[in-house]
């Protein structure tokens, strides 16, 4: 059984979608959910879905090997960043395969500070005609690793950052779990 650890910083809708997708999967499971924010709703979502939920501090992530050792002990095959806002230390990306989803068509609108509504505001302000999602492997640089999958959506004149966010969220829900599955089964 391939094991996933999900790291998230917010409400956890992507994490919940991934947990539900793999709930009865024959060869992949979500082992645990981890958040750097004690109050993050993702922790409640995970517990409600009977998945272990854990909190860690930014210092524990960067300055200790606590999480690294825990992932080793659990024999994690893939770390999934689902709305995780911190840069993952190099020691994680050197030891584990890590995948992230970004709410834009990288390499455009990526990098530090480009997440959530900030991305959508920038895309709308620049009068782009399309946006989308990028699912990519994680390396030492924000939003830089090898692209595994992209999906696009049109932007119309009436779109706002909020309406664009809804379009992007639909793409995330449809494609993120399937791309994770393909990666773990060797078909990505």
| Catalytic pick among 102, 120, 136, 175 | 102
Sign of the alpha-carbon torsion through 75, 185, 8, 140: positive
Cβ(84)–Cβ(108) below 8 Å: no
pLDDT of 3-42, one tens digit each? 999 999 999 999 999 999 999 999 999 999 999 999 999 9
> Residue 142 — very low, low, confident or very high, per pLDDT cuts 50/70/90?
confident
54 is catalytic: no
Model confidence, pTM: 0.95
Neighbours of 10 (CB within 10 A): 18
Element (H, E) at 101: strand 97-102
**Quick check: helix, strand or coil at residue 33?**
strand
CA 163 to chain centroid, in Å, comes to 21
Rounded to 10 degrees, the C-alpha dihedral 58/171/137/57 comes to 10
Average pLDDT of the segment spanning 123-141? 95
- Asked if 46 and 12 touch (Cβ cutoff 8 Å), the reply is yes
Query: All domains of the chain, ordered by start, with CATH?
Result: 2-107+133-153+173-184 (3.40.50.170)
Is residue 64 helix, strand or coil? coil
Average pLDDT value for the chain? 95
């Amino acid at each position: 059984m391939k094991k996933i650890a999900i790291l998230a910083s917010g409400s956890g809708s992507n994490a919940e979608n991934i947990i539900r997708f793999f709930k009865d999967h024959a060869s992949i499971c979500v082992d645990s959910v981890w958040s750097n924010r004690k109050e993050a709703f993702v922790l409640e979502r995970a517990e409600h879905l009977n998945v272990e939920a854990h909190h860690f501090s930014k210092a524990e992530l960067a300055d200790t090997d606590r999480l690294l050792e825990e992932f080793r002990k659990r024999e994690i095959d893939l770390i999934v960043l689902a709305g995780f806002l911190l840069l993952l230390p190099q020691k994680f990306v050197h030891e584990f395969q890590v995948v992230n989803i970004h709410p834009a068509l990288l390499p455009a609108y990526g990098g530090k500070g480009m997440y959530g509504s900030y991305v959508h505001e920038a895309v709308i302000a620049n009068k782009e005609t399309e946006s989308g999602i990028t699912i990519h492997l994680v390396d030492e640089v924000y939003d830089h690793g090898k692209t595994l999958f992209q999906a696009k959506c049109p932007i119309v004149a009436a779109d706002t950052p909020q309406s664009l966010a809804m379009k992007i969220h639909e793409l995330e829900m449809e494609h993120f779990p399937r791309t994770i599955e393909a990666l773990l089964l060797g078909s990505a």
